A and B are shown apart, each in its own frame.
Chain A
Amino acid sequence: KQEVTQIPAALSVPEGENLVLNCSFTDSAIYNLQWFRQDPGKGLTSLLLIQSSQREQTSGRLNASLDKSSGRSTLYIAASQPGDSATYLCAVTLFSGGYNKLIFGAGTRLAVHP
């Protein structure tokens, strides 16, 4: 059974710091891995999608890497800002039981203070 774990569960940093969020998964037979952002009381916003054949993706100050063989992904946020405060979720896509499943981690709650 695929399990997705995110470490740390919560993180509080001063503005301007570079930070790394971690995601690990137990089964490497995935199609892709996706990082989402969720603001309180809101839906999920897709940040980055990494296909299983790719090693990393970049969007602005965000960089996500994928090491499928070791079952790990990291989301790197450069020069953090208070507006980055949110919960970050990673999810892997795999085919199981007749459909494409998105399996989510529990998330990392990030607070960036001025």
Chain B
Amino acid sequence: IAGITQAPTSQILAAGRRMTLRCTQDMRHNAMYWYRQDLGLGLRLIHYSNTAGTTGKGEVPDGYSVSRANTDDFPLTLASAVPSQTSVYFCASSDSALTEAFFGQGTRLTVV
């Protein structure tokens, strides 16, 4: 049982470069989310998708984009990375508002 798989697990990226963080779930959950976790700021929602084909902005969407072409995949793209995007990124999914949310193992991104 894989649950949620994120790739890569860590990455060092030069500022200005484009980067896509991958997220795949095998639970057929409708909703998927991207969070970033920063010391002192906790977990903050970047983007969400309630169902395949729809996406929306969370608390801190600037500089990020997402797509949801199918149920299983929810990639997060940094169009032009900046040092303030250095963080740990978590992908999550849930079947509905009434069920458990499951998280991936995270991607540690350093922008230099």
Contact = CB atoms under 8 A, between A and B. Distances in A.
A43 B106 contact: yes
Interface in B34-84: 42-43, 45, 48, 50, 56
Nearest to A49: B100
A42 B102 contact: no
Interface in B75-112: 90, 92, 94, 96-106, 108
Interface string A87-109: 00101010101111110111100
Interface string A31-68: 11010100001111110010100000000000000000
Given A32-B98, A51-B98, A102 B106 contact: no
A105 B45 contact: no
Contact of B103 (A32, A43, A101, A106): A43
Interface residues of B, number: 23
Interface residue range, chain A: 20 to 34
B27 to A, nearest CB: 12
A68 to B, nearest CB: 15
B48 A44 contact: no
A41 B69 CA distance: 30
A105 B37 CA distance: 12
B30 to A, nearest CB: 10
Nearest to B40: A106
A100 B45 CA distance: 11
B102 A46 contact: yes
A111 to B, nearest CB: 18
A99 B56 contact: yes
A94 B85 CA distance: 27
A51 B40 CA distance: 28
Interface string A71-91: 000000000000000000101
Given A31-B98, A93-B97, A99-B31, 16 more contacts: A32-B97, A34-B100, A41-B108, A42-B106, A43-B105, A44-B92, A46-B100, A46-B103, A49-B100, A51-B98, A93-B101, A95-B97, A100-B50, A100-B96, A102-B43, A102-B92
5 contacts: A36-B103, A49-B99, A91-B43, A99-B31, A100-B48
